[in-house]
Chains A and B, each alone.
Chain A
């Protein structure tokens, strides 16, 4: 099964949860899809065995063949192409690599080139297969890199995969969560935690993916998350206590199971609950 760990609000503890679940699962694949700020490696200290650059398709124009018909510019939904007389200006940074211009070009003046968007790496962390990627500095579009990373991880055809997703509900999150069997939404009992949980839950519902909540820093704040989940029929899979012990361990780069071993059973139950739910559903 493929489990995505997401949240509306950043800083709720997605990576903490992802690493803990991966640890209790034993042999599985952990994919850190937060390519703008990957940090799961800080807790896992993986042995990196492979590195690979990732590229996005961009159009390359043969001016000699170009007739200046302008069809490529008309078809481009991202305004990345400007046809001026019989030459074409390509604004690579606006291109989303959809390939429409290549198809539209009747004289075949446009072919596919590539633009570096980031670097993927993967290896082992104990029993875990670990994948992450870093977006090239200055690169505004992360979804193509997330997609490439997921495809790379899928090569293993693993039975179990955990995806540590970017925060928020925009394209990177949708790209990372898409295709998952289940989505765990991590949140905290604060007004922002509630507000952004609601947004994330709506996003996941739109994607037709079953979801459950893990409440981090439980005991701080009020019962707003419990009430929201009850009202919407969302299971609360686990409550992680608001604990200085956990915070100190986190700051030292320790995963939460090392800081609070008593949580191991709770995380195992999360896996079992999801697994049973998916089997019965």
Chain B
């Protein structure tokens, strides 16, 4: 299963980026093989609006089935939900930590956005 974690840097030791739409990067991890790769989110960092929507499309295009992040805005949530991607908010620490928490079932699936847009 592919999962995606918003990240401040390019590897598993990077800190989770608490933002989703304007996250610095996304780490795509195969939970079965442990294989990981980074996808940059440069185009959305400076977006005047709709960063979460575009980031949602980016994640959908990776084939990820779950997103782990700090916070998720309303439009991002709608986009991810439409793409069939489960959203888990409240992650912090390193990317590796978030993955371990996810595997251990410690993360609770978000029922909706937990911040306003433009957070």
Contact = CB atoms under 8 A, between A and B. Distances in A.
Interface of A: 73, 78-85, 87, 89, 91, 94
Given A73-B57, A82-B57, A91 B82 contact: no
Contacts of A81: 53
B82 A79 contact: no
Interface in B45-66: 47-51, 53-54, 56-57, 60
B109 interface: no
A82 B79 CA distance: 7
Interface centre among A79, A81, A84, A87 (most CB of B within 10 A): A79
Contacts, number: 39
- In the A-B complex, the 8 residue pairs with the smallest Cβ-Cβ separation, listed nearest first, are A79-B50, A84-B83, A82-B53, A82-B79, A94-B50, A82-B57, A79-B54, A79-B53
Interface centre among A78, A81, A83, A84 (most CB of B within 10 A): A84
Q: Interface residue tally of chain B, by bracket?
A: 10 to 19
A84 B53 contact: no
Given A78-B50, A84-B79, A91-B75, 15 more contacts: A78-B48, A78-B49, A79-B50, A80-B50, A82-B56, A82-B57, A84-B57, A84-B60, A84-B83, A87-B82, A89-B78, A91-B53, A91-B78, A94-B50, A94-B53
30 contacts: A73-B57, A78-B49, A79-B49, A79-B53, A79-B54, A82-B53, A82-B54, A82-B56, A82-B57, A82-B79, A82-B82, A83-B57, A84-B57, A84-B79, A84-B82, A84-B83, A85-B83, A87-B82, A89-B53, A89-B78, A89-B79, A89-B82, A91-B50, A91-B53, A91-B75, A91-B78, A94-B49, A94-B50, A94-B53, A94-B75
A268 B56 CA distance: 59
Contacts of B49: 78-79, 94
A94 B60 CA distance: 21
Nearest to A84: B83
Contacts of A83: 57
B83 A79 contact: no
A83 B54 CA distance: 9
Contacts of B83: 84-85
Interface in B15-42: none
B61 to A, nearest CB: 9
Contacts of A84: 57, 60, 79, 82-83
Contacts of A89: 53, 78-79, 82
B51 A79 contact: yes
A144 to B, nearest CB: 16
